[in-house]
A and B are shown apart, each in its own frame.
Chain A
Amino acid sequence: MAECLNSLLHDNTRYDKISKEHKGSLEWLLTHEKYQKWSSSERSSLLYIEGKPGSGKSTLAKYFRENLQITSSSVIVNYFYTLRGTELKLTHENILRSILYGILKNDETFFPLFQSKFRKFGSQNVSKWPYESLQHVLSSLASHPFTKRLYLILDAMDESEENDRRKIIELLCQLCAKSQSCIVKIFLASRPISQFTHEVKKGHHVIRLQDENEKDISEFARSFLGPKLGLPSNILNKATKYIVENAQGMFVWVYLVQQTLLKYAERGCTTNQIFNFLRSLPTELDAFYGDILRELEEREELGFKDGLRMFRFVLFTYRPLRLAELNHALAIPDDPDATFLTSDESFEGDLIHGIDKRVVYCGGNLLEIKGLDGTVS
């Protein structure tokens, strides 16, 4: 069986990386009407948490997992996926493989479902499961003879193509429709899918995140518009309304707005200037990031270069670096043509004092230092 597990193995480590910040309160989930219907029903069904990127889907999925009442007959499979380096997309095949891996790892009684398929190609020295076999195993889960409650928690499918996502959802819906003694409860968090929502709505439950976190976003916006920026109440209301409307559930966007406004206000400004500046900010995340990066590019050369190298280390290293590691890596010239002196004295002279400040300055709010050991991401 270990061999069978290995053949399905896939990196799935995002779970620990999700930050707890800027999430607002999440208690509403457990009392939500659709959630209760979904969770109390004895039928297999799918709960679709729909939200734009950066609206806190991952935090919600984590919250759900932590608050799930576990009984001896429940099997919980968590699926988070994180892209690394230059991997551009996530295929439905990879997603499916990880889901099956999680199921088998959590409950051995599902093994017979895998066994026959595994034997078929296991001998042929194929290291990865063919897609058809994966698909077949997934749909055969429905005929699992034991009365189990199988929870599938799926998240971070944002990085996949819409078509891939749709395929997975189709497969999962089929599984729900067919399952008999084994109850499958699927908790799926994903960005909105245009053509699909209708199909999913039939017999499944959809919660739109932006309808739910409006209140949290509004409170968060007020917390910095009022006390920190000192806007008078009439403008405060207007500005809050503006932020809520444009956020469309995206907490990350509001966080960026907060950082940018606070920085803007540092130089001293009028109420009208703040409000106009707020309205001039991009309403899409990508455009916002674009602006931030452009600003970094226009900085003095050294600052830009350090920033570029920091982003490169964050994006392309095979594990996140700690702050001290990053500092040492930055002190080594990475230009193939540059001369490199193998000298401790010259190296130590190139280390940055206050590397934490440098990360904030060069990374422009996009880099974060986390945890006790100061992992940079």
Chain B
Amino acid sequence: MLQHLLRRLLLGLFTLVLITITVYGLIRSMPGNPLTLLEGGDPMGIANPGVRTVFYREMEKEMGLDRHWLVGYFNWLGDLARGDLGRSLQDRSPVSAAIGARIGPTFLLSGTSLALAFLLSIPLGIYCGARSGRLPERAISTFLYMLFSLPSFVAALYLLILFSVELKWLPLRGMHSSDEALASMSAAGRSWDLIKHMVLPVACSTYASLAYYVRFIRANLQEAIRQDYIRTARAKGLGEAAVVVKHAFRNTLIPLATLLGLTLAHLMSGSVILERIFNWPGMGLLFFEAIGRRDYPVIMGLTLSFSVLVLLGNLLADLLYALVDPRIRFS
């Protein structure tokens, strides 16, 4: 087990190095360097050429652009080991602080939707698995199948048009109302405000994984129900609920545990688009903004953080797998 874990960790580290070196190498091998692009786009409004040259030299040195890109990469790695992700090109603030400020909202969104997806999918999946073939089950399954094929950004836009533009029930974007409105609210009012802002983003990031889980649980449950021990359980006179929940469903939990890790990857990648649509101040929105500004230190830092989160998710799935299934011994 320990050996397996170590192997996975090593592979994960290797993957991280590979991803970051690819992105770093590509940034450096593109025609023009981050600084000339910066001048072209001029996002910092540097008009004075003298200031620009001084600034340029300083930045060039700091970003290691005057050396070979591999040296630059290892410098970046070295800084990383000291917990320094560099400074944003935008406002010269530390990248780690920028990411730290955005990680909370992302986790609020993905955590809520992960919990919701699990809570809702288990009863639905059990129902669909046990009542397979009947009309309500087929209706639910078909509907969920359609949902699974509906991209979250399309759903988000449809819901926005319906609830925010036409009915005006829910806010269009952001995480809070404006500061003035917020100041006049009580604590309960503020949480209600947050919930109102959260409804659509959470719904959009939940439904796809919900649909997938239900299909997954249903398929596994049907597989389990065909087994001999279910016939035995029925033969000894157990009630249908006990047979399905205690005997059949428990055995579908094992593959379900592995899904948890994979969902994390899914949520992380979905967050870029959804946070952009709802203007939710999370890591995905920061990534999107950084790409628009070509803020390379931030792009590097976020690529790393997203990759770490996804790899941690995979690792977690692996661990859970071993934890819930006593038959599995990694050796």
Q: Do A and B come from one complex?
A: no
A-side residues, CB < 8 A to B, are: none
